[in-house]
Amino acid sequence: MTRIPPRPETLLWDARAEPLGRLFPRTLGWIPIGFDIAWGAAIVDASFAETEGAALRTLYFHMGQVQEKLGKPQEALESYCKDMAWGEHPENSRAAAEKLYPSLPGGDEKNRLFVQARVNELRLQRAQEDIGLVQAVDEELGTADIKDERGTAVDLGRYRGKLVILDFWASWCAPCLTSLADTAALQRR
């Protein structure tokens, strides 16, 4: 397996630099007396478990809820993005984020695209840690669930005898557009 480190600009977010530890004391300072004590307890637990990624995965959605209550919609949106990328309540977080869009600059469409890109960015970073950037493998794909734009199954078998590149991309993913251009240039060469 060959591992190639990412380009610096792809490292848009570093888990170890995540300001969770800084966030919690500040958040605790903001919590008014009488605020639901269960939230406080959950936050204290999370701050002790900062290095325990598994513990945090259960809390991103709840963090977002607290941040919303504290009048911090941008921070809440970031927590919901983390939950959608890594957490355990992605559907709840998606619904909560959608409710936030109208109150954020840019409105629904811009924020929807921002969230898609941000969630992808977070997933990419975690996946690169887990999988590595490039792997040399030799695995039979078998039947892949690929469909064309009309919903008809694409039979990869018809490409036997040829090299095939599957380029996974999305129109809202800026690095994807670079990758597509690279793939097109490679095909021409």
List of residues contacting other proteins (CB under 8 A):
2, 4-7, 10, 120-121, 123-124, 126-128, 131-141, 144-149, 151, 154, 156-157, 159-173, 175-176, 178-187, 189
Nearer to other proteins (CB atom), residue 29 or residue 142? 142
Q: Give min distance, CB of 149 to other proteins, in A.
A: 5
Nearest to 129 by CA among 5, 1, 17: 5
- What are the angstrom distances between the C-alpha of 160 and each of 123, 155, 156? 32, 10, 7
Residue 32 or 149: which CB sits closer to other proteins? 149
Closest approach of other proteins to the CB of residue 54, in Å: 18
Least separation in angstroms between residue 55's CB and other proteins is: 22
CA 51 to chain centre: 19
Q: Kindly tell me which of 32 and 157 has the beta carbon lying closer to other proteins.
A: 157
C-beta closer to other proteins: residue 32 or 145: 145
Measured from the CB of residue 172, what is the shortest distance to other proteins in angstroms? 7
User: 169 phi and psi, to 5 degrees?
Assistant: -150, 175
Instruction: List all residues 6 or more positions away from 11 whose beta carbon is below 8 Å from its beta carbon.
Output: 125
Rounded CA-CA distance 79/156 in Å is 39
- Look-up of token digits 């929807």: 112
Chain centroid, CA 120 distance in Å:
4
Taking the complex as a whole, how short is the minimal distance between the CB of residue 46 and other proteins, in angstroms? 25
Q: Closer CB to other proteins, residue 19 or residue 151?
A: 151
Amino acid at 148: D
